[in-house]
Structure 1
Amino acid sequence: MNTARHRRTRTLAWGALPLLLLTAALSVDHIPLADVPLTVPYAAEGPGPTVDTLGEVEGIPVVDVRAPEVDTPAGQLRMTTVSVRTNMTLPQLIGRWLTTDDTIVPAEQIFPKGATREEIEEANKAAFSQSESAATVAAMDWLHLPVKTVIADVIKDSPAQGHIRPDDVLLQVDGKRVAKPGQAQELIAALAPGDQVELLLERDGKEITVRPTLGENEHDPGKALLGVYMAAHPVDDIEVSYNLQDVGGPSAGMMFTLAVIDKLTPGDLTGGHVVAGTGTIDPDGTVGPIGGIVHKARAARDAGTELFLSPSDNCAEVLSRDTGNMVVAAVDTLDDAVTAIESFAKGEEVRTCGSA
């Protein structure tokens, strides 16, 4: 049964509901004169906005690269998102199920049971910060440029507070030199809650030593917690920053990395085409799968995308829906992504999800 016919059938099945009752219910989220909510514990996932990582949002570059030579690419590298709707009444939920291609999932699949809004926002912030840092490391490694580890933020009431400040450069952990955030994380993870760790920092051009006592990670009992967000910054005279608000999670990593590379290399990586994609990025350039890709591909298609970059592990999901005229490339690494874009720009064959 095709989707449109199936949707019409479902609509007719609900046609017996009194229109007045249904209309009234759509606008009520609690029982009048009582504090009894009528919302259901489900969420609807659908296509979200796409953002050109080579462009600007409200006059601010999404990926801001400052260096002696920065290119201005003519094409687009669009990151994709998923919109999530919650706090719906049953009629509202049914309405989205009948009239859209949204995916209906238990709310706790989006918001873990028992987690507060603040905890969820903190987790998303951490994931996004790690994604930004990984994107910078992967881009600099691809460009054969060195990086350093900078403290992006200090968590309130954490062991780091009072010892470490934002913009400190982390040079050593217990006498071992670190350049990348991942190296520091591994050294701290090898310690235990209650251990004192010696950190060599660079602050305002001077080296200082601090010795905070590690706490315990409440989300991972038994694991040590320092309480900082670390970011990779290029060494020398290159600065990279990411300026996208209200977006969480790691799925923009690959597109951030590609934007940095495109701005720091001569010429136009995309050949002036509209390229979109999604996928996590590891510091070593590995591209990982993500959730909600059918909605991200739909958003990319609706935005006029010509080439869509999909993690190979998500290919089956992407191909389960109509992708229109988009070429859907399968990628496992940053090299795969760059090769796919360059091949497409030259009119050459691309390794697609259908052929992977």
Structure 2
Amino acid sequence: MGVRSSTWVTALLVLLGLTVVGSVVPAPVVALGPGPTFDTLGEVNGTPVVSAEGLPTYPTEGHLNMTTVGVTDGITTLGALGLWASGNHRLAPRSSLYPPGESSEQVTAQNQQEFDGSIANAEAAALTHLGLPTRVTVGTLTEGSPSAGVLEPGDEIRAVSGMPIPSVQVLLDTLAPAPPGEPLTMAIVRDGTPREITVTPAAHPADPARAFLGITPATSPTQGQELEITLGDVGGPSAGLMFSLALVDKLTPGPLTGGRFVAGTGTVDAEGGVGPISGIRFKMLKAQEVGAQVFLVPAANCAEAAADAPDGLVLARVGTLDEAVAALETLDAGGTPPACS
């Protein structure tokens, strides 16, 4: 065998070895791309995504799709390169989603906690927008916290140490100066029965000077009325805006979408403020793929969205839930809502 032939054989063997390694050895990256999308006006596995009991509801039309970012983990080097070359994915260090020292289960639990918080905020924002009477309730409890076994999810909190609690913000303001270790008396209503309980706050894990009760308060409708948002296997807070819009649509006469296919994204706080999210490009791509005509964009993401918007997708700039409702009403009336630029 000549020197040139030997060189070619060696090169081919090296290439073959690299190919085998690249197709087997996991890369230290994840691929981010378009993820699943769900119509918040529809059903998933036979269960309505958004529902209400004890309140008048009305027929809806069209779509209000929440969008997500898909994460592909456990990919090989060649697989990562293939996804990157497709142009519809971005590679990110695995440690940016799964920090060292945290298990996948811990990350999933944190995402679920953020999702639960977004549901509570979405309900509060919708109730505030609609001007419906509300009460402060216990949303979720932290396992092993001072409130576990004393308070229960759904308990209505009427007063803390004699201070009336008309809103979640008043509750937070009342608890803020409470020192750890000093018992708090709470007037609550459980299953329609008023009662008084005592909770002794612990020191907050992140700041020992602060009191920690281990409850996530929620804004709920009045007794006998209930809002429910159900969507499994989805984490994070970015669906809040679309959940709120679905509630507003179902609780008011006339279809909010005007029959259009509307998609969008954005966090929402209890007062209705819409916050920025990540992965706006991937969410717009998925929205276009499933046939959306309009995409609601958080104001803080507008510049990024406008620079990379898919052809034919109308972008509407929204900074609050009120603005999102107004944008859809403007479209229904034949007008043009504020756009991203």
- TM-score normalised over the length of structure 1: 0.86
What residue number does 1:193 align with? 180
Is 1:58 paired with 2:53? no
What residue number does 2:117 align with? 130
Q: Secondary structure at the match of 1:45?
A: strand
What residue number does 2:58 align with? 71
In structure 2, what is the Cα distance between the partners aligned to 1:150 and 1:249? 22
Q: 1:125 to 1:221 in 2, by over 3 A?
A: farther
Is 1:292 paired with 2:242? no
What residue number does 1:144 align with? 131
CA RMSD of aligned residues (A): 2.2
What residue number does 2:35 align with? 48
In structure 1, what is the Cα distance between the partners aligned to 2:184 and 2:220? 23
1:226 to 193, 213, 227: 213
2:67 to 66, 73, 80: 80
Q: 1:246 to 1:51 in 2, by over 3 A?
A: same
Asked whether the equivalents of residues 71 and 263 of structure 1 are also in contact (C-alpha less than 8 Å), the reply is yes
Q: Give 1:100 deviation, angstroms.
A: 3.8
Is 1:326 paired with 2:317? no
Asked whether the equivalents of residues 132 and 231 of structure 1 are also in contact (C-alpha less than 8 Å), the reply is no
1:114 to 83, 89, 101: 101
What residue number does 1:32 align with? none
Q: Secondary structure at the match of 2:255?
A: coil
Q: Give 1:21 deviation, angstroms.
A: 4.5
Q: Give 1:96 deviation, angstroms.
A: 1.5
In structure 2, what is the Cα distance between the partners aligned to 1:17 and 1:351? 59
Q: Identify the range of structure 1 (189-198 vs 341-350) with the bigger mean alpha-carbon deviation.
A: 189-198
Q: Secondary structure at the match of 1:119?
A: helix
Asked whether the equivalents of residues 58 and 254 of structure 2 are also in contact (C-alpha less than 8 Å), the reply is yes
Q: Secondary structure at the match of 1:246?
A: coil
Q: 1:305 to 1:204 in 2, by over 3 A?
A: same
Alignment of 1:233-252 (within 5 A): 233-252=220-239
Percent sequence identity is 39
Equivalent residue letter for 2:127: M
Gaps of 5+ in 2: 1-11
Equivalent residue letter for 2:93: P
Q: 1:340 to 1:17 in 2, by over 3 A?
A: farther
Q: Give 1:176 deviation, angstroms.
A: 1.7
* Higher Rg of the two aligned structures: 2
Asked whether the equivalents of residues 266 and 276 of structure 2 are also in contact (C-alpha less than 8 Å), the reply is yes
Q: Secondary structure at the match of 1:261?
A: helix
Per-residue CA distance 1:278-317 (angstroms, 9 max, x = gap): 1111122111111111111111111111110001110111
Q: 1:171 to 1:314 in 2, by over 3 A?
A: same
Q: Secondary structure at the match of 1:198?
A: strand
Is 1:165 paired with 2:152? yes
In structure 1, what is the Cα distance between the partners aligned to 2:198 and 2:286? 48
Q: 1:214 to 1:285 in 2, by over 3 A?
A: same
Per-residue CA distance 1:233-286 (angstroms, 9 max, x = gap): 211543211101111121111111111110010011111001111111112211
Asked whether the equivalents of residues 23 and 77 of structure 2 are also in contact (C-alpha less than 8 Å), the reply is no
What residue number does 1:183 align with? 170
Asked whether the equivalents of residues 137 and 180 of structure 1 are also in contact (C-alpha less than 8 Å), the reply is no
Q: 1:18 to 1:71 in 2, by over 3 A?
A: farther
Alignment of 1:88-103 (within 5 A): 88-103=75-90
- TM-score normalised over the length of structure 2: 0.89
1:315 to 282, 285, 302: 302
Q: 1:40 to 1:180 in 2, by over 3 A?
A: farther
Gaps of 5+ in 1: 1-15, 29-37
Asked whether the equivalents of residues 31 and 73 of structure 2 are also in contact (C-alpha less than 8 Å), the reply is yes
Equivalent residue letter for 2:237: P
Q: Give 1:22 deviation, angstroms.
A: 5.9
Q: Secondary structure at the match of 2:184?
A: coil
In structure 2, what is the Cα distance between the partners aligned to 1:302 and 1:219? 43
Asked whether the equivalents of residues 202 and 213 of structure 2 are also in contact (C-alpha less than 8 Å), the reply is yes
Q: 1:286 to 1:323 in 2, by over 3 A?
A: same
